[in-house]
Amino acid sequence: MQPPVDGPHMLLQRSAVFYRQKHLLAIEGLQPPEIGQLLDLADSYVLLNRSGKTQRDLLRGRTLINLFFEDSTRTRTSFELAGKRLGADVINMGVSSSSVNKGETLIDTAATLNAMHCDLLVVRHDQSGAPNLLAQIVDAAVINAGDGTHEHPTQALLDALTIKRRKGRIAGLIVAICGDIAHSRVARSNIHLLTTMGCQVRVVGPPTLIPAEVADLGVTVFHDMAAGLAGADVVMMLRLQRERMTRGQIPSAREYFRFYGLDQEKLAYAKPDAIVMHPGPMNRGVEIDSAVADDPVRSVIKEQVEMGVAVRMAVLDMLSRGNRRNEP
């Protein structure tokens, strides 16, 4: 089937390509034109997906391996869907089905994958820096799907696309990122992206969950939801990542909800048209009240999931165009 004239296929052919890196390992260090172009390309994939059309010739004959050392539902499935919609052969490798459980090291696993001539390697790992290490070993283009507490670049891109489509812009907005900043790679990637694109970024949470260094990233720190949410255009809630916590970082889930859980009362501090975001999976009644999470007007949580597929299609497209440029 022919892609539509104004579809993703044409977008990069009409202008210079700004994103010229082989991998996508982090948002930190990306320039506004690179981010802007990825978002424009993703936006055109939203339209393509909604039209029901596909572009299966783009990655035909290419192999994408989803290598997940940590659990994931939406990130893994959306990379799978994105790869399939572009025609790639997609293979999912989870920890339980791989020989990592038998003691194989990350480097050995990488060498095995390399021998399979994989073109695109999507990696999630509980150690920060694991995708960077793999990128030095494998021939494939590596995409970081979340590494430890470091970065989760495609999540920040899908969040930015959701914001841009809802608010019509990114620059100049006040974005409050709330909750477990300390353990969140989503927060780190979003801070880099949103400050680079001209937002005023606030982080809001208890002192035990906000590392001191975060202030060096150009954000304002708040420990009180009323002050942190005042006048915000976007309220981004984060999951309490208890699996990464040492004991004693929060008193109890009930008390946490009382001070930092987003309910309608706390949301009222933000702008009347502020949107509510959450990367999922949500702890309902801990960091977010169901009435807010399911609010059809304010919550854009389902839209974030839809944007996730489009953003991953754009990233796969962009990186594979890069690879084609290197072909003889």
- Least separation in angstroms between residue 145's CB and ligand NCD is 8
- Least separation in angstroms between residue 248's CB and ligand NCD is 20
- Least separation in angstroms between residue 102's CB and ligand NCD is 25
- Least separation in angstroms between residue 189's CB and ligand NCD is 9
The residue at minimum Cβ distance from ligand NCD is 239
CA dihedral (156, 157, 158, 159) positive or negative: positive
Q: Which of 149, 155, 299, 320 binds ligand NCD (CB under 6 A)?
A: 155
Cβ neighbours of 306 (radius 10 Å): 17
Cβ neighbours of 11 (radius 10 Å): 17
CB–CB of 135/112 below 8 Å?
A: no
Site string for ligand NCD, 114-153 (x = CB under 6 A): --------------------------------x-----x-
Nearer to ligand NCD, 55 or 241 (CB): 241
- Least separation in angstroms between residue 270's CB and ligand NCD is 21
Q: Which of 9, 74, 167, 271 binds ligand NCD (CB under 6 A)?
A: 74
Q: What are phi and psi of 115, to 5 degrees?
A: -65, -20
Nearer to ligand NCD, 9 or 74 (CB): 74
Strands, DSSP E only, in 223-266?
Answer: 234-237
Strand pairing report for 141-147 and 200-204: unpaired
Would you count residue 228 as binding ligand NCD (CB under 6 A)?
no
- Least separation in angstroms between residue 246's CB and ligand NCD is 17
Would you count residue 280 as binding ligand NCD (CB under 6 A)?
yes
Rg (CA), the chain: 20
What DSSP designation does 140 have?
A: S
Q: Which of 109, 176, 279, 299 binds ligand NCD (CB under 6 A)?
A: 279
The pair of structure tokens assigned to 294 is 């399911």
Amino acid identity of residue 78, one-letter, is: S
Under 8 Å CB-to-CB from 226, ≥6 apart: which residues? 266, 269
DSSP secondary structure letters along 179-228: S--TT-HHHHHHHHHHHHTT-EEEEES-GGGS-GGGGGGT-EEES-HHHH
Q: How many residues contact ligand NCD, by CB under 6 A?
A: 11
Nearer to ligand NCD, 125 or 152 (CB): 152
Would you count residue 186 as binding ligand NCD (CB under 6 A)?
yes
Q: Could you say which residues in the range 191-220 bind ligand NCD, by CB under 6 A?
A: none
Residues that bind ligand NCD (CB under 6 A): 74-75, 146, 152, 155, 185-186, 239, 241, 279-280
